[in-house]
């Protein structure tokens, strides 16, 4: 855990005993996300600014997409046209009737077998044309769906409920595709928050997943309930510590991230010392 390694340098100098409470900790966003475009293009709109709260699925930015919109309309029109299918169907119906007449005339010996065979071949050809026209329309539907997918890639949406941490590009800037390129926005998820704490090895085995704890944010006052969600199984041999992560509910977004805190584990509290019962006075006779 990265945060655990950072805290270890400070905490290992004065690592508390296993029974000591509370422990030093750090409150962080549950996750941080950089919003990049998967395609290259000029940014047309950025609809949020630093500090804005966003919802999952909300549109954050839009790339210029006039050509893609035109491609979608063209593909949609091609997927809906019925002319070729109607023509092929009419030809097939005519060929069926022609074959039926040829069979009747052939049965009465009014036409040669060649005429009947030609009508039968014509019917098969028109059936193939109708099938091809139907298949082409299905292909056009897939092409329309593909064009819509390409257009949607130029609309950037939030993958999480969170807060805009920074806005790095603006309308008119070029959004470049690729992980190494400059992101358009940075988002953080602050509901819930995560709490990172480093504990001495003596505490290992005394905490379980979902163990309850109380978090005391520095400078804010108050005590907030949290639960253990991660217990590291790889220790830091240099400091004799291991990392623990807690989840801190923050539905209203009242608590900020990036602040120090203290966490109190009831499970690690030392039991009160046992007191001896007062000695009974010696009996006198």
Give the pLDDT confidence of 60-110 residue by residue, as tens digits.
999 999 999 999 999 999 999 889 889 999 999 999 998 899 989 888 888
Specify the pLDDT at position 274: 66
In a domain, 184, yes or no: yes
DSSP assignment of the chain: -HHHHHHHHHHGGGPPPTT---EEEEEEEEEEEEE--SS-EEEEEE---TT-EE-TT-EEEEE--HHHHHHHHHHHHHHH--HHHHHHHHHHHHHHHHHHHHHHHHHTTSS-HHHHHHHHHHHHHHHHHHHHHHHHHHHHHHHHHHHHHHHHTTEEE-SSSEEEEEE---TTSEEPPSTTSPPSEEEEEEEEEEEEEEEEGGGTTS--TT-EEEEEETTT---EEEEEEEE-SS-BTTTTEEEEEEEE--TT--SPSSEEEEEE-GGGSPPPPPPPPPPPPPP--
In a domain, 133, yes or no: yes
The whole-angstrom separation of Cα 8 and Cα 272 is 29
Specify the pLDDT at position 12: 41
In a domain, 275, yes or no: no
Q: Are residues 106 and 183 in the same domain?
A: no
Number of domains in the chain: 2
Q: Are residues 50 and 121 in the same domain?
A: no
Q: Which of 105, 124, 152 is the last residue of a domain?
A: 152
Structure tokens at 11: 């905490």
Question: Over the stretch 263-282, which tens digit does the pLDDT of each residue have?
Answer: 999 988 866 666 665 666 65
The whole-angstrom separation of Cα 119 and Cα 245 is 80
Q: Are residues 147 and 173 in the same domain?
A: no
Overall average pLDDT of the 206-222 stretch: 92
In a domain, 116, yes or no: yes
The whole-angstrom separation of Cα 189 and Cα 33 is 8
Q: Are residues 48 and 131 in the same domain?
A: no
The pTM score is: 0.72
Q: Which of 77, 78, 69 is nearest to 147 (CA)?
A: 69
In a domain, 93, yes or no: yes
Q: Are residues 57 and 178 in the same domain?
A: yes
The whole-angstrom separation of Cα 34 and Cα 13 is 35
Question: Over the stretch 247-265, which tens digit does the pLDDT of each residue have?
Answer: 999 998 889 999 999 999 9
CATH number of the domain at 181, please.
Answer: 2.40.30.170
CA dist 18 to 201, 217, 260, 270, Å? 8, 21, 20, 8
CA dist 233 to 13, 30, 230, 236, Å? 22, 21, 9, 10
In a domain, 157, yes or no: no
In the block, which residue shows the tokens 């790889």?
Answer: 234
Question: Over the stretch 100-133, which tens digit does the pLDDT of each residue have?
Answer: 999 898 888 888 999 889 999 999 999 999 999 9
Specify the pLDDT at position 7: 46
DSSP β-bridge partners for residue 227: 212, 247
Q: Are residues 44 and 72 in the same domain?
A: no
Q: Are residues 176 and 200 in the same domain?
A: yes
In a domain, 274, yes or no: no
Query: Residue 134: which domain range?
Result: 66-152
For residue 229, pLDDT beyond 70? yes
Overall average pLDDT of the 3-15 stretch: 42
Overall average pLDDT of the 232-240 stretch: 92
In a domain, 279, yes or no: no
Specify the pLDDT at position 275: 63
Q: Are residues 170 and 257 in the same domain?
A: yes
Q: Are residues 51 and 172 in the same domain?
A: yes
Structure tokens at 216: 């005391």
Question: Over the stretch 125-170, which tens digit does the pLDDT of each residue have?
Answer: 999 999 999 999 999 999 999 999 999 999 999 999 999 999 999 9
Q: Are residues 250 and 122 in the same domain?
A: no
DSSP β-bridge partners for residue 217: 261
Instruction: Categorize the per-residue pLDDT at 19 as very low, low, confident or very high, splitting at 50, 70 and 90.
Output: very low
Q: Are residues 135 and 120 in the same domain?
A: yes
Specify the pLDDT at position 241: 94
Specify the pLDDT at position 9: 39
Q: Which of 119, 152, 185 is the last residue of a domain?
A: 152
Overall average pLDDT of the 201-211 stretch: 92
Lowest mean pLDDT among 5-9, 52-56, 193-197: 5-9
Better-scored residue on pLDDT, 285 or 97: 97
Question: Over the stretch 24-62, which tens digit does the pLDDT of each residue have?
Answer: 999 999 999 999 999 999 999 999 999 999 999 999 999
The whole-angstrom separation of Cα 196 and Cα 70 is 50
Specify the pLDDT at position 47: 97
For residue 2, pLDDT beyond 60? no
């Amino acid at each position: 855990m990265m945060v655990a390694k950072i805290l270890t340098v400070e905490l290992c100098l004065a690592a508390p005993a296993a029974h000591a409470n509370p422990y030093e900790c750090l409150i962080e966003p549950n996750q941080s996300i950089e919003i990049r475009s998967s395609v290259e293009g000029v940014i047309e709109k950025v609809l949020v600014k630093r500090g804005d709260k966003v919802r999952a699925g909300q549109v954050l930015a839009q790339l210029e997409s006039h050509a893609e919109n035109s491609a979608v309309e063209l593909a949609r029109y091609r997927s809906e046209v019925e002319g070729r299918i109607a023509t092929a169907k009419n030809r097939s119906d005519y060929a069926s009737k022609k074959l039926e007449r040829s069979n009747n005339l052939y049965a009465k010996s009014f036409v040669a077998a060649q005429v009947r065979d030609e009508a039968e071949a014509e019917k098969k050809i028109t059936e193939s044309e109708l099938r091809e026209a139907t298949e082409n329309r299905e292909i056009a539907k897939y092409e329309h769906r593909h064009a819509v997918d390409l257009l949607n890639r130029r609309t950037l949406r939030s993958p999480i409920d969170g807060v805009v941490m920074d806005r790095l590009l603006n309308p008119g800037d070029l959004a470049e595709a690729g992980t190494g390129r400059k992101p358009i926005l940075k988002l953080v998820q602050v509901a819930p928050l995560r709490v990172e704490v480093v504990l001495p090895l003596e505490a290992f085995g005394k905490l379980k997943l979902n163990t309850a704890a109380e978090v005391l944010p520095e400078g804010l006052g108050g005590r907030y309930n949290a639960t253990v969600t991660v217990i590291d199984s790889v220790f830091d041999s240099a400091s004799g510590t291991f990392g623990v992560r807690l989840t801190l509910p923050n539905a209203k977004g009242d608590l900020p991230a990036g602040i120090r805190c203290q966490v109190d584990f009831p499970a690690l509290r030392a039991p009160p010392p046992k007191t001896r019962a007062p000695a009974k006075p010696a009996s006198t006779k």
